């Protein structure tokens, strides 16, 4: 990020000695503009401000693409990544849980609680034992949020790990089978090429 102007300094808390420094920056990669903000109790120079750990506005809201996942499930999974990017970690956990349940329903498993659906995914050979365990970990954290158990916060580390596990479930159920199917189709097409067009095999006189 390249700073475009000197930081503006004000005192948002009134009488307390808390200084807010803000300046406009331009991203060296995409040329987008952002505002960097620093709250401090000490007077700092412009160069010290630039090298500080700044808060950025607007936040980068980043989703993730899941090409081989049904669109309605892929959209929810991408939204889980977006909530993570703005530090909405409870929402991340709740969406990841919903993605697991939607995955089971996409495979025709609709009976019972989410626990039962995950077990049924495994029984039907859609997921291996360790992926079943991953899905249950998503269920555990998602249940805490869904049931209003807000005593303990969802940490960044927990939410990030849940996203990884969610990705493994989606890979197991949708993406890995799709990759295998594409490779099989390519191999069969190579082994059994189409008949040459009429006249293409004739020798040149």
Mean pLDDT of 135-141: 96
CA angle 181, 187, 190 (to 5 degrees): 140
Residue 100 is predicted with a pLDDT of 98
Does 130 or 55 have the greater pLDDT score?
Answer: 130
Mean pLDDT of 7-13: 72
Read off the pLDDT band of 26 (50, 70, 90). confident
Residue 204 is predicted with a pLDDT of 43
Quick: pLDDT tens for 58-76: 766 778 899 999 999 999 9
Residue 205 is predicted with a pLDDT of 41
Quick: pLDDT tens for 177-199: 999 999 999 999 888 766 554 44
Class of domain 71-182: mainly alpha
pLDDT at 139 exceeding the cut of 90 = yes
Q: Are 87 and 153 in contact (CB under 8 A)?
A: no
Residue 92 is predicted with a pLDDT of 95
Q: Are 40 and 61 in contact (CB under 8 A)?
A: no
State the Cα–Cα distance between residues 66 and 181, nearest whole angstrom. 16
- Which residue bears the tokens 């505002």? 35
Read off the pLDDT band of 47 (50, 70, 90). low
Quick: pLDDT tens for 112-130: 999 999 999 999 999 999 9
* Mean per-residue pLDDT of the chain: 85
In the chain, domain spans: 13-57, 71-182
b/e per residue, 151-167, with b = 16+ CB within 10 A? eeebeeebbeebbebbb
Q: Are 92 and 80 in contact (CB under 8 A)?
A: yes
Read off the pLDDT band of 162 (50, 70, 90). very high
Residue 43 is predicted with a pLDDT of 67
Residue 40 is predicted with a pLDDT of 78
């Amino acid at each position: 990020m390249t700073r475009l102007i000197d930081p503006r300094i004000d005192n948002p808390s009134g009488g307390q000695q808390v200084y807010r420094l803000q300046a406009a920056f331009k991203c060296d990669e995409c040329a987008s503009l952002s505002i960097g903000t620093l709250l401090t109790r000490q007077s700092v120079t412009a160069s010290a401000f630039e090298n500080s750990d700044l808060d950025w506005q607007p936040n980068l809201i980043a989703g993730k693409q899941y090409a081989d996942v049904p669109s309605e499930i892929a959209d929810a999974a991408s939204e889980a990544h977006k909530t993570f990017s703005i530090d909405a970690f409870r929402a991340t956990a709740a969406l990841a849980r919903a993605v697991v349940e939607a995955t089971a329903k996409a495979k025709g498993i609709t009976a019972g609680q989410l626990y039962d659906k995950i077990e049924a995914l495994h029984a039907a050979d859609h997921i291996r034992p360790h992926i079943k365990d991953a899905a249950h970990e998503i269920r555990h954290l998602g249940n805490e949020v869904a049931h209003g158990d807000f005593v303990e916060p969802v940490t960044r580390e927990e939410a990030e790990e849940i996203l990884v596990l969610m990705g493994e479930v989606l890979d197991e159920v949708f993406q890995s089978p799709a990759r295998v199917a594409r490779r099989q189709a390519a191999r069969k097409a190579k082994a059994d090429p189409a008949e040459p067009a009429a006249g293409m095999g004739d020798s040149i006189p």
